[in-house]
A and B are shown apart, each in its own frame.
Chain A
Amino acid sequence: MSDSPRAPGRSFVLRYYDRRREVLTAIPHDADPTRLYEQLAAAALPDVAHCLVVADADGRVVFARCVLAHEHGAESCLATVAADLDLAHEVKESLMKDLTSTRVAQGAASRVLVAPLVVEEQAAGAVVFARRTEEPDWSAQDHGTIHDVVTALGVDLERLRLRFESRQALRASQRVASQLHQLISASLVVGTLTDESDIALNLVRSARSLFDGDRAAVVVHHASESVVATVQRGRIPRLIDATLADATRVPSARPEASDPWVHDGWLCAPVLDGHDRARGLVATHRDGEASFTAEDYELAMLLARLAATSLDALDLNRTISDNETRLRILVDAAPVSIVESDDNGRVRWWNQSASRLLRWPDYAVDVVDAVRWPADVEAALVGLWNDLLAGGLRDNEELRAEVGGRERLLALSAAVVPTGTQRPNILTLLDDVTDQRELREEVRHAHRMELRGQVASSVAHDFNNLITLILGYAELLSRNVAGDEKSEELVRDIQATSSRASTLTAQLQSIGRTSAPAPVSLDVGAALGANAEVLERIMGSVNTVVWELAESTPPVKVDADLFEQMILNLSINARDAMPEGGTLTFTSGLRELDEEQAGELGLRAGPFVTLRIADTGTGMDEATRQRCFEPLFTTKGPFKGTGLGLASARRLVLDSGGVITCSSTLGEGTAFTIWLPAQVESDRSAPATDVPVVSERPRIPATILLCEDDAALRRLARQVLARHGFEVLECVSAEDALETRERFGARIDMLVTDVVLPEMDGPELARRLQGEQPDLVVVVMSGTASPDAVAGLRQNSASFLAKPFKPSALVDEVIGLLSRRTVVEPQEAAGSKR
């Protein structure tokens, strides 16, 4: 290279301006000033100087270029200048003196021009231009040009730095925007996911890319398992088995941590549940020194919270979906038919009950358009819907309609379901109440029967009183006509007829009795014998009744009235089963059942009294036979049978520790067998049959208070008792009785009272009197009350006499009680006499 004439002029400035433009317009990847120094050197060498040095404010060389660099290298050229001049000194001199002017320093081999470099109004250093001494000296124009160019360099350095910084700021804001975008995208995606694995797989992508990590991991604890997802840069996220070695590359959790932490290059954030317990971990790993910033911590926490929120939402969705499933199953299984339709009645959905009732297919989306309301039903529903949609209230309606080929009675109701649009849907409920209504009719019938029974019972009460009178007077009459054979026979006829009437009223009464069973020792044969007459009458003339009763059977413990009613019911059933007439056979016996036989019948081993009642009627088919003991089950149709007879028979027998079985053959007949445990000797008491009339009775002097509101009956009782030597005080009510006793003053031994009295009843009166006089004995008479009426009275001091009774029965009862009583004499503190 030859020395060129030093004629820099304006061309140096233009050259520099031209060259620096490219530096200043390129994307600023850094703020390195060297690129500008390069442009300055390229513009300056070799025309302006042979060597260019940039020094910092302390005079240290930061850049140097020489024309001869390719021959000797920049260092050697710079070394030449440096050997000649103390550059640092010259730079400092220049900066100390005047920042606006250039200065020249002369060395042995070089002559340098030093231009202060001012950046942002601060002395940043200086640019040194060197010429060899043999070259032309620095002219005034050189001073001016170089001053302009170095000033421009200072401004350009500032611009370069500002451009870089603003670009950095732009990148940073883009990065933040991008991270926010990632977080929001992640939350949008994760919010739609329906299982923990998908959530973990999506979060792990975000965790890696959000922090530009080389890998990431997400751990989610779910039930008793852990889902672990990992990803490496450039790879697809995957789930790994939490128990395998792969998992050792996942950072371990810190159960107590609630803030993010950094360990071994991992930034970890705990995923906390609603109680701040760790339910997982979001972690990102960066290689090398790249450390995590405070912003990264915040983002990690946001991501962990996103994970927690999505997992919570997932739990919630599961709960909701479980509830929905439960409700759907419930609605589907509901016995009521439920149909959802639009406001025009077009069917949208229905439950299984509706499928059955309306004979529709099971609900499915593709059959919705195929189903139609039955015409009858729709006609009735349109009115209901319209009222409902108009805001009116409608009570449940009933509709008798042809549904699925059968006439059914339907209870209809409907409700509006808001849909969020102008047109709501309608839920229609159809309850098939046909069976229920029939059942209700049956129950109503049963109630009617019971009411009738009660009426019959009360009528029977009055009849009993009358029959008692007839019997009483007939007995009195028989003594008056003693010896007149003709009259005696007539009286016996009266007595026999009255007895029969008495039996009938007893039956009538038992129909309405609803009191609790009162088991007594009962001789089955005797009980049947006592009712034989009634039974035969019930069976009518077309039927034959055959009695095959064992000579004697041990007593059984059973409510006597209910037992009779049961026999009556079974007989009526038999009669109804034999419209053409037939034979009803009563067979009693005693059977000893061993363990096995008893087990088959559901009984305990032991002796059983059996009673078999067999007809020769139509019989039952198997289905009917199996159901015949069910309450309200009847084959007789409404208004004929109550369906209660066999059910109450079964209840009675079971309550009595026995069993009733049934065998039947269609066309041949039906037989019921009743098994009742035979009572062992120890718990037997006297059978409830008539006490034999004792002709010779002891005479016991006693005063009897007789309380009976029926005048005729009272008179009869007085006459009978007086005839046996008792002193009788008559009264018509409890008040009257109390007064009479007061008036009488002397000791009263016995009270004979009716149960039903005006105001205070008989038992109450008896209790009152016994309270004052404990040894008072009481006979309570009643046609309707049960023997329980004497329950409240002192033991062994009272007895119950059912109306109607023969006068002799009253006398026997009175004498029996008086002879057994315990008299408390005033002079004895306590004691007993028999």
Chain B
Amino acid sequence: MTNDSSTDLAVDLADALAGEEFYLVYQPEIDLHSGGFAGVEALIRWRHPTRGVVSPAEFVPLLEASGDIVEVGRWALETACYQGAEWHAKGYRFPVSVNTSLQQLHRSAFVGEVERALRASRLEASHLTLEFSHRALGDPETLTTLTTLHGRGVRLAIDNFSPGHPDFSELAAVPVDIVKLDRDFVTANTESPAGASVIHQLVHDARALALRVIASGVEDATQRDHLRDEQVDVGQGFHFARPFEAQEIDRFLQDYALFSGRPL
């Protein structure tokens, strides 16, 4: 990517929210043991008027740089809550996971924004999971925000987790429910017996803190079987499903039972 195109993109990005060019896709998360539907992660996409769909890897850093990530993040939160409530109204009982930037978490207004989004959409707090980087735990104010939200029933997940970054001992004192294993970490540790023991230890540590473990980037059945054998709870990746727009998720869900989410 050249500087020029990056600048152009940044200019276009400024109008993208007002122009309703952003949309959310949802990637299913599957229970590795029952095969049931365990949730979705909402992922942002940008349908550029001329370039077509732009990768988040390209535009999210630009949003973070401009600070627009706060506005766009709020839109994503509200939209995901509405969508989650809609599935809830249809009879499904799975949480919707929303990525949250450090800039959002750092603002004192964030708790209010989450509460408003939940109230407006009528999504139960326990059906919303906020995913954020472990770096959020380093900031006392952000930690306060997270603790407040956790107290309201919102579930918290550490994104792109790999052991040591942070260490499990650091998680003992913070309000986190889920660790989401980093894609590269999953790839690296599902191919060898040594990797299996790493994951085994990780799951053991997570259990000790009553944390749920979700593996992202599950690409094939072999990986899936490995992770399942090591008692990882949930998998997410192309092996199960790519990210879908909401109505495609509806079709995907046709083969899962209402309420329980078990495969039909």
Contact = CB atoms under 8 A, between A and B. Distances in A.
Interface in B246-264: 246-247, 250, 254-255, 257-258, 263-264
Contacts of B78: 236
B59 interface: no
Nearest to A214: B247
Given A209-B86, A235-B20, A170 B264 contact: yes
Nearest to B81: A236
Contacts, number: 56
B91 interface: yes
Which 5 A-B residue pairs are closest in the complex by CB-CB distance? A181-B91, A185-B89, A178-B90, A171-B254, A182-B89
Contacts of A202: 122
A212 B257 contact: no
A355 B122 CA distance: 42
14 contacts: A170-B264, A171-B264, A174-B264, A178-B91, A185-B88, A205-B82, A209-B89, A209-B90, A233-B246, A235-B20, A236-B78, A236-B82, A236-B121, A237-B82
A206 B90 CA distance: 9
B147 interface: no
A212 B254 contact: no
A182 B90 contact: yes
B114 to A, nearest CB: 15
Contact of A205 (B86, B91, B246, B264): B86
Contacts of A175: 254
B79 A181 contact: no
Given A181-B258, A189-B122, A234 B246 contact: yes
A244 interface: no
A748 to B, nearest CB: 106
A185 B124 CA distance: 13
A234 B43 CA distance: 13
B90 A181 contact: yes
Given A174-B258, A209-B89, A234-B83, 8 more contacts: A171-B255, A174-B264, A178-B91, A178-B258, A181-B258, A185-B89, A233-B247, A235-B20
B197 to A, nearest CB: 32
B111 interface: no
Contact of B258 (A167, A177, A234): A177
Nearest to B121: A236
Contacts of B245: 234
Interface of A: 27, 167, 170-171, 174-175, 177-178, 181-182, 185-186, 189, 202, 205-206, 209, 212, 233-237
Interface in B90-111: 90-91
A492 B90 CA distance: 121
B211 to A, nearest CB: 31
Contact of A206 (B82, B89, B91, B120): B89
B196 interface: no
B10 interface: no
Contacts of A181: 89-91, 258
A175 B250 CA distance: 10
Contacts of B90: 178, 181-182, 209
A174 B258 CA distance: 7
B125 to A, nearest CB: 16
Contacts of A212: 247, 250
A285 to B, nearest CB: 14
A86 B88 CA distance: 59
Nearest to A166: B264
A177 B122 CA distance: 21
Contacts of B258: 174, 177-178, 181
A220 to B, nearest CB: 19
Contacts of B23: 234
Contacts of B264: 167, 170-171, 174
Contacts of B20: 235
B24 interface: yes
A625 to B, nearest CB: 65
Contacts of B254: 171, 174-175
A182 B90 CA distance: 5
B117 to A, nearest CB: 9
Nearest to B117: A236
Contact of B257 (A174, A185, A233, A234): A174
Contacts of B91: 177-178, 181-182
A236 B86 contact: no
Nearest to A209: B86
Contact of A236 (B79, B122, B246): B79
Interface in B206-248: 245-247
B89 A186 contact: yes
Contacts of A171: 254-255, 264
A178 B264 CA distance: 15
A215 B254 CA distance: 21
A189 B86 CA distance: 13
A182 B91 CA distance: 7
